[in-house]
Structure 1
Amino acid sequence: MTIQIGDKIPQATLNMLKDGVQAVDTADLFGGKKVLLFAVPGAFTPTCSAKHLPGYVEHFDEFAKRDIEVACLSVNDAFVMDAWAKSQDVPAGVHMLADGNGAFTQAMGLQLDATAFGMGLRAKRFALYAEDGIVKQLHVEAPGEFKVSSAEYVLEHLPA
């Protein structure tokens, strides 16, 4: 079942590279905070690298002014996410989260079967806004599209 507005973010452990591989518990990541989590099907893939991540890098300060933390999620490992962040000049404040086995993505019901493209199970392209671990907005892209999960679209639709 796909996560819905009003649902609590599922408990899971993600990873990021910061002085080695660091475990990130979703309860700590989302608890008591406003967080914008966007997911991409794969680091270094064309739309993800040319449009999706760059939009959040460009608008990072606008989210920060609203006290919203920004996190990028992909079903990749922490080393890939770190290398991608460096190649895209991602600000240190953006959490580059690895869901290596896709367990968190699957728990949210937002997995994408990309086996036909040789990519296995991945995350759908989406953006999720949560306050204190409760989903307030969810923007899931239709297959092959990039509209509702863009930084620009999300900023237009956030509460004032």
Structure 2
Amino acid sequence: MSETPAGPTPGFLVWRLSTKWRVAVDRALAPLGLTHAQYSLLASLHGMGRSGARPSQRRLADHTGLEPLYVSKLARALEAAGLVERTPDPADTRAVQLALTAEGREVTGRAIAVVHQLLDRLLAPLGGRDGARTRALVDELTALLDVPLDAPLDSPAGVSADVSTEE
């Protein structure tokens, strides 16, 4: 039987850091009228659009890790704000492609600059955005993100994996 480690668990620390990061980005982008989630969608569109891609909402959801329904809601709000263009996908009539408008590119450029300044400040203890410790952190976080969510879990000791619905 393993002992419970003293202090916070890695999962708790990742959650706290994620929450802190979201709040910091929300605060930094508030003057631009953007939230962290909107920024994630816009910055992803910016990056994908540089290669000429017009991703579907589904592809953008997969890329950002946001739920497809939430991406759809965000895309509609950003379209209403004049930042995103939604068009039917010529290859799939059920799908919608997304792209930044001219105003969306301008706002996204300003938002990326703001977030880069925030990154510089928050990553300073690790040597900045280009520091060796930051690169190591990125490698470790990428390894954790690559673990599939649907992998089977081992049953706790003493609990049968064979679950019956019969009484």
Larger radius of gyration: 2
Alignment TM-score > 0.5, same fold: no
TM-score in terms of structure 1 length: 0.30
Instruction: Identify which of structures 1 and 2 has the higher relative contact order when contacts are C-alpha pairs closer than 8 Å and 6+ apart.
Output: 1
TM-score in terms of structure 2 length: 0.29
